[in-house]
Amino acid sequence: MAHADVAAVASATATAAASQPLAGRVAIVTGASRGIGRAIASHLSSLGASLVLGYASSTADAAALAASLPRAVAVRADVSDEAGVRSLFAAAETSFSNSGAGGGGPHIVVVNAGVLDDTYPTVATTKTEAFDRVVAVNLRGAFLCLREAANRVRRGGGGRIVAVTSSVVGSLPAGYAAYTATKAAVEALVRTMAKELKGTRITANCVAPGATATDMFFAGKSEEMVRRNVVSNPMERLGEPGDIAPVVGFLCTDAAEWVNGQVIRANGGYV
């Protein structure tokens, strides 16, 4: 090959690597059927990753997303159920063996699935069943995914764990106490794990969105409650799922190895 041709091939290879930094990597995203998780999954796919799309009940949405991405499978799995969580990891190990990603555990796990009590009760009026449900999905579910990730994400470089928590841990709004408590607990789990994973070159971080225009955000809110979120933000708007996905995407790349054990708030500056 002529010198100029070799240089052209090298340049094209470098360009492809820069635009597809997650090529050959397998990512699990929980809560990928809708909202922020859907945007994260699409973004990781655009960076070259193969995707396991976890969801609870939105089968049509998850299947449509899987069909629209080059390498993706949708897996129905309640994150509060141990067997369900294990099935997400089994799918990561078996679904993409012909895609260059090889067999073995996932490289990336994004713990995103969550629920919110959309009656916005005070602590005094929070029903025990409502508290238990938020804890079951947001805390027990995150714990089960994080524990599985700590054992099964690949070692030796490129291993990434990201939990989606919330900026309410900083702003402590009335009406969100149980939800906020679960997110604070997940931040403690993840920051501890970052230290426990010493020697694996796996990073563990949280991304904490502020008010983001999804089904969860609008559920149970009056126009006045929505407006208050807009006017109190320095950017004078709600966040969009597309504001959050690139932050998670960056944390999943090799370039982010030095960011470890951190909580990155992505909220337009409201807290």
Residue 37 makes contact with ligand NAP by CB under 6 A: yes
Q: Side-chain half-sphere of 70: how many Cα atoms within 13 Å?
A: 13
Residue 214 makes contact with ligand NAP by CB under 6 A: yes
State the DSSP string of 132-176: HHHIIIIIIHHHHHHHHHHHHSPPSS--EEEEE--THHHH--TT-
CB-CB contact of 208 with 169 (8 Å): yes
Residue 196 makes contact with ligand NAP by CB under 6 A: no
Residue 209 makes contact with ligand NAP by CB under 6 A: yes
Buried-exposed string 170-187: b where 16+ CB fall within 10 A, e elsewhere? ebeeebbbbbbbbbbbbb
* Nearest approach, Cβ of residue 48 and ligand NAP (Å): 23
- List C-alpha distances in Å: 3 to 6, 7, 17, 79: 5, 6, 21, 54
* Nearest approach, Cβ of residue 33 and ligand NAP (Å): 4
- CB atoms under 10 Å from CB of 123, counted, come to 11
Question: Residue 34 or residue 152: which is nearer to ligand NAP going by CB?
Answer: 34
Residue 158 makes contact with ligand NAP by CB under 6 A: no
Residue 245 burial by Cβ neighbours in a 10 Å radius (0-12, 13-18, 19+):
buried
Residue 268 makes contact with ligand NAP by CB under 6 A: no
Backbone angles phi, psi at 143, to 5 degrees: -60, -45
* Nearest approach, Cβ of residue 223 and ligand NAP (Å): 16
* Nearest approach, Cβ of residue 12 and ligand NAP (Å): 37
Q: Which two tokens stand for residue 60?
A: 């049509």
Q: Between residue 75 and residue 94, which ones bind ligand NAP under the rule CB under 6 A? A: 78-80
Question: Residue 57 or residue 98: which is nearer to ligand NAP going by CB?
Answer: 57
* Nearest approach, Cβ of residue 177 and ligand NAP (Å): 14
What is the Cα–Cα distance from 168 to 235, expressed in whole angstroms? 17
State yes or no: is 179 an active-site residue.
Answer: yes
CB-CB contact of 89 with 54 (8 Å): no
Residue 233 makes contact with ligand NAP by CB under 6 A: no
Catalytic residue chosen out of the listed positions 120, 176, 179, 270: 179
Residue 175 makes contact with ligand NAP by CB under 6 A: no
Residue 66 makes contact with ligand NAP by CB under 6 A: no
Where on the chain is the footprint of ligand NAP (CB under 6 A)? 30-31, 33-37, 54-58, 78-80, 112-115, 137, 141, 164, 166, 209, 211-212, 214-217
Q: Annotated active-site positions, please?
A: 179
